[in-house]
Structure 1
Amino acid sequence: MKKEVYEYVKIEDHTLYQFFSYGPKGLIRKLIQFNLVQRIPLIFNLELGKALSGNKIDTSSVTDNKDTNKILLSVTEAIIEFLNERREALVFLEGSTPARTRLFQIWIARIFDQHRGFISIEGRIKNNWYLFEKGKSFDAFLIKKKNINQ
């Protein structure tokens, strides 16, 4: 069965991904931005949100287009592609609010089993990092491509 995801395009040195959400509120342009925050180790912060002019991202608006699952599956595909292109990179993910962080946690718990063969996920609790476990409450996440030997 094919996963239902939005088709996206990569722009700006393959760190910015654009797609359109479609639902009851119409067509809404969304952006996924991977921002370099550290070179050693290579860490990128993921931003997701409604596109504003000049490819700026509104990470706090709630578009409520009834397609959250499709959006999060699209983000998953973008992360996998991004990590395939940058095998040494880590993607840092933290919601702009505690509610969004909880949404990311629920999403990661859903996709974890399906992708555990080629990505590794760690969760942060009070500045300490642990391997991701369902049922634990984390405040941020690091996603990386697994080495073939892992």
Structure 2
Amino acid sequence: MNNPFYEFDSLNNATRFDFLSIGKKEIHKAVIYSQTADPQIFFLSLANVLQDDSLDFVTISNNGDLKVVMATVVQTLMTFLDVYPTAMIAFTGNTPSRSRLYNILIGQELGQASASFKLFGIKGDHIESFAPDRCYDSFLVMLKNVNIE
């Protein structure tokens, strides 16, 4: 959480954040927080912004700046939660290997993150407090003071 991150622009009432990934090439990226059927739960998505301003949620960029991109996503999460402090944020990788990568990255940052956030791992229909030695399909994060109902 103390890693370098890219500057970003907050758009759409802090539900979209745009930034420029600068690795092997420059890639315009967006972090989107979409409200689900439950008004307290938002789904986090990371996308490439194409030249026509459409969003590409599928392409894996491999731009060489993964840690900076992930640190930027965490910064947008903190900004989002400043505006929506009772929100719960769900996310998953768009492939099983991407979900495993998120699992590893969360495990590496768990000590710092647990000071501010509650982190949960989801496997099938089972939700539990995040454990670094477990493999999850998706994840849920919220501020420490938010309770799951």
For the pair 1:137 / 2:127, whether they are aligned, the reply is: no
Distance 2:44 2:53 in 1: 14
Unaligned runs of 5+ in 1: none
Amino acid at match of 2:44: L
What TM-score do you get using the length of structure 2 for normalisation? 0.91
User: Residue 106 of structure 1: which of 104, 107, 111 is its match?
Assistant: 104
User: Residue 54 of structure 2: which of 53, 56, 64 is its match?
Assistant: 56
Report the identity percentage. Answer: 25
Which structure 2 residues correspond to residues 45-124 of structure 1 after superposition, within 5 A?
Answer: 45-53=43-51, 55-124=53-122
Amino acid at match of 2:20: F
Q: 1:53 offset after TM fit, Å?
A: 4.9
Distance 1:122 1:55 in 2: 33
Amino acid at match of 2:123: I
Distance 2:143 2:42 in 1: 13
2:14/2:83 contact within 8 Å kept:
no
SS at match of 1:64: coil
SS at match of 1:38: coil
Distance 1:44 1:124 in 2: 15
- Per-residue deviation, residues 48-104 of structure 1 (Å, max 9, x unmatched): 021125643212102121000110011011112211221110000111111111111
Unaligned runs of 5+ in 2: none
SS at match of 2:36: strand
Q: Aligned residue for 1:36?
A: 35
Which contiguous aligned blocks of 4+ residues in structure 1 show a shift greater than 4 angstroms? none
Amino acid at match of 1:78: T
Amino acid at match of 2:111: D
What TM-score do you get using the length of structure 1 for normalisation? 0.90
- Cα RMSD between the aligned structures? 1.6
Q: Aligned residue for 1:23?
A: 23
What count of residue pairs does the alignment treat as equivalent?
145
